[in-house]
Amino acid sequence: MGSLIAAVPGNFIGFYIFGAICRKFSWRRFILATFITLTLANFIVAFLYIYVYKFLYLGAFEISFSNLMILTLALTVWWFATMLPFVLTITPLLIRATARVFPALVPESVRDSSLGREFPRLGFALLMIIPGIIFLILGLLTSFTWFGAFLTSINKLPSADPIKIIFYGCGLGLMAIGAYALTRR
């Protein structure tokens, strides 16, 4: 039920916006569409899941409003940063492969575009480095503030160590991908 209430509307809106932005395809538009739709769609899903499904539908009233807001924003950031590297690294490869195997399925503007020729290196790098920095900050907040105890209690974990590992690992991984994109010719 949570998926129907939260994921279906969020994904529908996200893919609609992604298609509208990429109607005139370029790799720059693809990266812009990825950023906008991952931010918006993940926020919609998190909001609907936390507020509508958990709070109203299941009656989970034991969580304060401010904690619900923190949890919504945390889920948005988490989903954004974990989806972003896959969308920006694997999807172009899948588009290229599909264009070669099934050229009739891929519009001519997509087939003719060249990732090597028009790759927006700085934009791609920043879209990796900035969420990486956010993850490192979340790791530090989890390690040294009340935020670690909050995440541990919400997720019913014995300690915040798994969350810290995920935050630090994702932060360093995203920053490494961004740095590689900046230094690659």
Q: Where are the domains of the chain?
A: 1-112, 120-185
Tell me the C-alpha distance between 147 and 171, whole Å.
17
What phi, psi does 169 have (nearest 5°)? -65, -45
What residues in the chain have per-residue pLDDT under 70?
53-63, 114-116, 118, 155, 185
pLDDT the model gives residue 149 = 85
- Cα torsion 112, 118, 121, 125 to 10°: value is -40
Q: Quick one: pLDDT at residue 53? A: 67
Buried residues in 135-148 as b, exposed as e (16+ CB within 10 A): bbebbbbbeeeebb
The backbone region for 70, taken as left when phi is positive above 0, alpha when psi lies in -120 to 50, beta otherwise, is alpha
pLDDT for residue 162: 83
Q: What is the pLDDT of residue 161?
A: 84
What is d(CA 34, CA 80) in angstroms, rounded to the nearest whole number?
10
∠ CA 42-45-49, nearest 5°, is 140
In sequence order, which residues have a C-beta less than 8 Å from that of residue 140 and are 6 or more positions away? Answer: none
Q: What is the pTM of this model?
A: 0.75
